[in-house]
Amino acid sequence: MVADKRGGRRTESGFGGQQPKAVQKALAMLEAVAHLGAGATAKQIAAHAQVPPATAYRMLNFLVADGFLVRVPDLSGFALGRRTSELAYASAASAPTRSVTDVLDAIRGETRHGVYVASFRSGTLRIVDTDPDHEVVSASTVMRNPHAHAVGKLMLAYHPRSLDTSTLRAVTARTVVSEQALHDELATILATEVSFEDEESRLGRAALAVPVREPGSNVVGGLCLQGVSGRINRDNRDLKLLLREGAQQLVGLI
């Protein structure tokens, strides 16, 4: 231990003053974004991390500047950045394994479409890895209208309790708002293990999603591919094969 000029004490790490608390707050805010999912607002992050709003805004800017967080495309909130993903999924030197980022980077190298993976453990959807080159719908947007999104429908199919809090609103003119039609579609998803939506969440956009399992075979997330309507369809064997192979490699990683 080393005494400072005012007779106080520093830790052996050399930190003094408020620096350790600042580090704790920054980590708490990263943890808050991981828990709340992509699209979490500064106000939500501050409340979850129990950090004063003014401090939260300042620290969020630092975390974005350093690449630990990124702003979602519409600038309404934040998501984990690539540097955080690299920390979270770094392989141990003694037991090298593929990370979520490794798997998704390989898939992205084989398609022009956007690719991302979501977790919906306990019926709460969280974006695990966003596509840096394509706009990805935020988790909060999907949770508001899961029936209108390919990955949201996947969650409804495998976690039907999520239906209890869902309102079938028309996001576009093509959104499925009939309860019977949605139940029929969810049954098809369970039978084929493929979820599809075409211009239901956004005009001009379509998406395919397949389930991602944990080692015990329980479905805990979804791998989603999205792009221009007309270029993605339910019967595209190559895209479905690409997603299914990717989902197999993601077993146990989310």
Instruction: Determine the angle formed by the axes of helices 179-192 and 150-158, rounding to 10 degrees.
Output: 80
Task: Give the phi and the psi of residue 105 in degrees, each rounded to 5.
Answer: -60, -40
Which one-letter amino acid corresponds to residue 123? G
211, 198 Cβ separation under 8 angstroms: no
Q: Residue 186's closest CA among 212, 211, 155, 143?
A: 155
Q: CA–CA separation, 96 vs 126, rounded Å?
A: 26
In tens, the pLDDT along 182-219 reads 999 999 999 999 999 999 999 999 999 999 998 877 89
Give the chain's radius of gyration (CA, Å): 21
Q: CA–CA separation, 115 vs 107, rounded Å?
A: 8
107, 233 Cβ separation under 8 angstroms: no
52, 18 Cβ separation under 8 angstroms: no
Task: Write out the two tokens for 64.
Answer: 């974005």
Average pLDDT over residues 157-179: 87
Is residue 87 predicted with pLDDT exceeding 80?
Answer: no
The reported pTM is 0.61
In tens, the pLDDT along 14-68 reads 334 456 788 888 888 998 888 888 888 999 999 988 999 999 999 999 999 988 9
3-state secondary structure of 107: helix
